[in-house]
């Protein structure tokens, strides 16, 4: 168990809908990362937060947004969902958010868009 928690485990929804994925980092970690994993693309970095502030953006669509709250938990919002958004979404956390830090991954949320 990495200490990173994610809810829900599974989410099934329809095209055009909006969903929110939640992540709680390991105790003491200040940085949260979001990744998308699909069969053909592997793990793709979406966005990073450090202590409530956005630090870096990767391949995140404009329909997606995220935030990190004062208690350090983070939420990833996905809107106007398309079939292609079906994937595993992982949250990871690290202490300082630098590239020398180890990232610890949560168990993921499996999103299915029908």
By CB under 8 A, name the binding residues for other proteins: 2, 4, 31, 33, 41-43, 45, 48, 55-56, 58, 90, 97-100, 102-108, 110
How near is the Cβ of 98 to other proteins at its closest, in Å?
Answer: 7
CB within 8 Å of 47: residues ≥ 6 apart: 33, 34, 54, 56, 57, 58, 60, 64, 66, 76
How near is the Cβ of 100 to other proteins at its closest, in Å?
Answer: 6
Omega before residue 68 within 30° of 0, cis: no
How near is the Cβ of 61 to other proteins at its closest, in Å?
Answer: 18
Instruction: Report the candidate in 16, 18, 43 with the shortest Cα–Cα distance to residue 108.
Output: 43
CB within 8 Å of 42: residues ≥ 6 apart: none
- The nearer residue to other proteins, 22 or 79, going by C-beta atoms, is 22
- The nearer residue to other proteins, 16 or 58, going by C-beta atoms, is 58
- The nearer residue to other proteins, 2 or 7, going by C-beta atoms, is 2
Counting Cα atoms < 13 Å in the Cβ hemisphere of 92 gives 22
- The nearer residue to other proteins, 79 or 88, going by C-beta atoms, is 88
């Amino acid at each position: 168990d990495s200490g990173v928690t994610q809810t829900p485990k599974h989410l099934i929804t329809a095209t055009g809908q909006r969903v929110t994925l939640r992540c709680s980092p390991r105790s003491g970690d200040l940085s949260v990362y979001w990744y998308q994993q699909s069969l053909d693309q592997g793990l793709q970095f979406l966005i990073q937060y450090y202590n409530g502030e956005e630090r870096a953006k990767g391949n995140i669509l404009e329909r997606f947004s995220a935030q990190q709250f004062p208690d350090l938990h983070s939420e990833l919002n996905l809107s106007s969902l398309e079939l292609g958004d079906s994937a595993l979404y992982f949250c990871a956390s690290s202490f300082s958010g630098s590239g020398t830090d180890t990232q610890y991954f949560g168990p993921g949320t499996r999103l299915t868009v029908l």
